[in-house]
């Protein structure tokens, strides 16, 4: 029996070692974010402990002003025995995956005076192996990264040294093709992809500055030399005065088919389209290009003539689904609106019917809206897309009344209500729905898992005459939209306490049986502990920009806007475990195995755009070894409803007293 047990253990260890790689940003080239590792299960996940914690040093080395404009969204890769990731400032760091100790680091040397339009962010790097090179040759295995200051850099994956034969001194500078308002108007925030010896890279462009914004050109380079191969502009500019439709989110590739799949964004500017008539084809689309030539194989548009900033924000996920008459290769696309489109991978045609349905009209003067939008019919929306104006949220009558006032003064005719000078309520908000974290797909269970955000934005068009000297209120985004008759403002519809005005959940994970077209479960993700006054932890869910990690062990991992990594049961959606992080982990988790042990890792550096605390950590968890005990933080499993941490009981009491005081003051004023 002992010999049999030893054989089983050795076989499991060998299986873990053979499937331990995480060589792509999305786990594989198709972005399924699924790992075949199965050591961590619903039965033992509560035994997870922190294995190591690495600090990049940015909190000490970078000025506070820079850190306040940073977003740590990177997902590490495990390649050639190194755990490799990029910081928001494009430093590439390689760690020992078992200990978290630094092995090498490369700094691209971006000036601290540089001001990126989309803040400082690097979602990840890309790995490519040169099959023509000898195994031990320099840069036979290389890391490729796009930078905030619009360069493509190639590094030796083993040493971090620049690949001398790539471009000039290991880098290629991207040419935006036109004068910029400022250098940071054009940057790269997501990892490129590599297939058939070709690097394909998109760009991120500052939103809502001008009609004639930089074009969203996708560029391809020879993976060895950095020589340009092709370019592709998503927009047809005949009669259209616009730029953008760029690919800022991660892409995916099917090397066997020779296709790269692009999620394109909206044309410029986001909230007024009078200067760009028509559907604006290839914007807001999933586009398949031939990776070697840049020719369009097919395209499917998800939003026509976008004036809501409902661009395609997430990596197209390549999967295989048994749809009833046999298995089929598909592209799964999550969207900001909460729709899920499932497209044939060879043709781009919907696998199940998509209907054209009428949507609200009466846009701003000069606007020409599409009369219909595409609605999937088989896979249901990931959440209700209806905003009930008669149900404002608030923890007290004071902030609930404030929310009611905000909701009743906005224009709202349902999904796709056009922007207006009155102020239009957008639900879902421009952040989603699904955002850049994308979805995960379990190929064995054929289940999709997605994080969703559920909050309201108010978008207001400001007539040009009033926009000249307009000073937006604090906490309000302002876009001049030069060349359009309107500027714009955007703000989260929130109470005086900073909580969204629509009823929770404000963030939830959803599991979907795509074949059956059925939502299996929904689970709130996150509490108000690290965002509400006094650390009160109401189980409301938080907005969720990042994605999820699915594993063969039946456990789903994700972060949130509070400082915890969470584990959920893939079968039921039950929350099983929380691991405390130094600051929120607004990044996609990943997993790998070393020496027979499975690790789960997440970047925990916070997210300045969401108002979280900021840090510079990467944190790894594994199952407790003999003699180790999980910490109190990691053992805790949520109960239904809200809760108070031990350290916030006093704060909660003070909060209640404060509310009582506010009530008494209001009463006194009415009586006086």
Q: Give CA separation, 593 vs 22, 102, 156, 442, 603, in Å.
A: 10, 18, 23, 19, 18
Tell me the C-alpha distance between 428 and 34, whole Å: 27
Tell me the C-alpha distance between 409 and 402, whole Å: 11
Tell me the C-alpha distance between 264 and 296, whole Å: 13
CB neighbourhood size of 329 (10 A): 15
At 52 the three-state DSSP class reads strand
* Contact assessment for residue 578 and residue 564, using Cβ atoms and an 8 Å cutoff: yes
Residue 212 token pair: 């004639």
Decide if 130 is catalytic.
Answer: no
Q: Which of 437, 651, 640, 429 is nearest to 536 (CA)?
A: 651
* Secondary element (H or E) of residue 397: helix 397-408
Report the C-alpha dihedral over residues 441, 442, 444, 446, rounded to 10 degrees: -50
* Contact assessment for residue 313 and residue 432, using Cβ atoms and an 8 Å cutoff: yes
* Contact assessment for residue 351 and residue 330, using Cβ atoms and an 8 Å cutoff: yes
The single-letter DSSP state of residue 610 is G
Phi and psi at 87, nearest 5°, equal -85, 170
User: Would you give the end-to-end CA distance of the chain in angstroms?
Assistant: 85
At 16 the three-state DSSP class reads helix
Tell me the C-alpha distance between 311 and 35, whole Å: 28
At 663 the three-state DSSP class reads helix
Annotated catalytic residue, options 207, 309, 530, 616? 309
Tell me the C-alpha distance between 488 and 461, whole Å: 5
What are the residue numbers of the active site?
309
């Amino acid at each position: 029996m002992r010999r049999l047990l030893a054989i089983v253990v050795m076989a499991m260890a060998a299986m873990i070692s053979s499937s331990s790689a995480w060589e792509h940003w999305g786990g594989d080239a198709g972005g399924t974010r699924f790992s075949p590792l199965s050591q961590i299960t619903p039965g033992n996940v509560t035994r997870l402990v922190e294995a190591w914690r690495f600090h990049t040093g940015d909190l000490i080395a970078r000025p506070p002003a820079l850190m306040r404009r940073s977003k740590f969204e990177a997902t590490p890769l495990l390649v050639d025995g190194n755990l490799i990731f990029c910081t928001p400032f494009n430093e590439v760091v390689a760690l020992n995956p078992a200990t978290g100790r630094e092995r090498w680091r490369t700094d691209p040397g971006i000036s601290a005076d540089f001001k990126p339009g989309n803040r400082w962010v690097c979602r990840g790097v890309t790995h490519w192996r040169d099959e023509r090179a000898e195994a031990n040759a320099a840069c036979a295995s290389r890391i490729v990264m796009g930078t905030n200051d619009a360069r493509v850099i190639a590094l030796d994956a083993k040493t971090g040294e620049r690949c001398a034969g790539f471009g000039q001194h290991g880098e290629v500078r991207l040419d935006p093709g036109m004068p910029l308002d400022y250098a940071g108007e054009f940057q790269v925030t997501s990892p490129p992809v590599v297939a058939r010896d070709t690097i394909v890279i998109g760009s991120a462009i500052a939103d809502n500055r001008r009609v004639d914004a930089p074009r969203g050109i996708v560029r391809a380079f020879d993976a060895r030399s950095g020589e340009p191969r092709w370019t592709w502009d998503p927009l047809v500019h005949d009669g259209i005065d616009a730029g953008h439709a760029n690919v800022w989110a991660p892409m995916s590739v099917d090397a066997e088919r020779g296709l790269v799949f692009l999620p394109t964004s909206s044309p410029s500017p986001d909230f007024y389209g009078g200067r760009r008539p028509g559907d604006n084809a290839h914007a807001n689309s999933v586009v398949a290009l031939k990776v070697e030539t840049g020719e369009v194989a097919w395209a499917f548009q998800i939003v026509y003539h976008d004036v809501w900033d409902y661009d395609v924000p997430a990596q197209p996920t390549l999967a295989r689904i048994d749809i009833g008459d046999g298995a089929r290769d598909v592209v799964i696309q999550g969207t900001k609106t909460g729709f899920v489109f499932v497209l044939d991978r060879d043709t781009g045609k919907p696998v199940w019917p998509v209907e054209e349905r009428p949507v609200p009209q009466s846009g701003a003067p000069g606007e020409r809206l599409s009369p219909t939008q595409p609605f999937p019919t088989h896979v249901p929306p990931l959440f209700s897309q209806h905003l009930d104006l008669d149900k404002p949220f608030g923890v007290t009558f004071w902030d609930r009344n404030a929310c009611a006032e905000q909701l009743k003064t906005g224009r709202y005719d349902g999904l796709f209500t056009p922007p207006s000078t009155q102020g239009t309520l957008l639900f879902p908000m421009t952040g989603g729905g699904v955002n850049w974290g994308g979805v995960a797909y379990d190929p064995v269970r054929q289940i999709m898992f997605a994080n969703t955000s559920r909050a309201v934005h108010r978008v207001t068009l400001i007539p040009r005459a009033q926009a000249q000297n307009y000073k937006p209120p604090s906490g309000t985004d302002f876009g001049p939209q030069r060349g359009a008759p309107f500027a714009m403002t955007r703000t989260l519809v929130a109470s005086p306490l900073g909580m969204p005005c629509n009823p929770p959940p404000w963030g939830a994970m959803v599991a979907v049986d795509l074949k059956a077209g059925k939502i299996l479960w929904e689970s709130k993700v996150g509490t108000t502990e690290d965002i509400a006054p006094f650390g009160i932890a109401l189980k409301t869910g938080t907005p969720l920009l990042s994605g999820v990690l699915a594993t063969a062990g039946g456990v789903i991992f994700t972060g949130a806007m509070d400082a915890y990594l969470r584990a959920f049961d893939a079968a039921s959606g039950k929350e099983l475990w929380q691991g405390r992080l130094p600051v929120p982990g607004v990044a996609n988790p990943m997993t790998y195995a070393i020496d027979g042990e499975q690790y789960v890792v997440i970047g925990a550096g916070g997210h300045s755009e969401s108002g979280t605390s900021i840090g510079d950590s990467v944190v790894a968890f594994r199952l407790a070894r003999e003699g180790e005990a999980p910490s109190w933080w990691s053992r805790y499993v949520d109960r239904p409803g809200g809760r108070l941490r031990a350290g916030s009981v006093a704060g909660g009491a003070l909060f209640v007293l404060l509310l009582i005081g506010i009530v008494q003051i209001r009463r006194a004023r009415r009586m006086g």
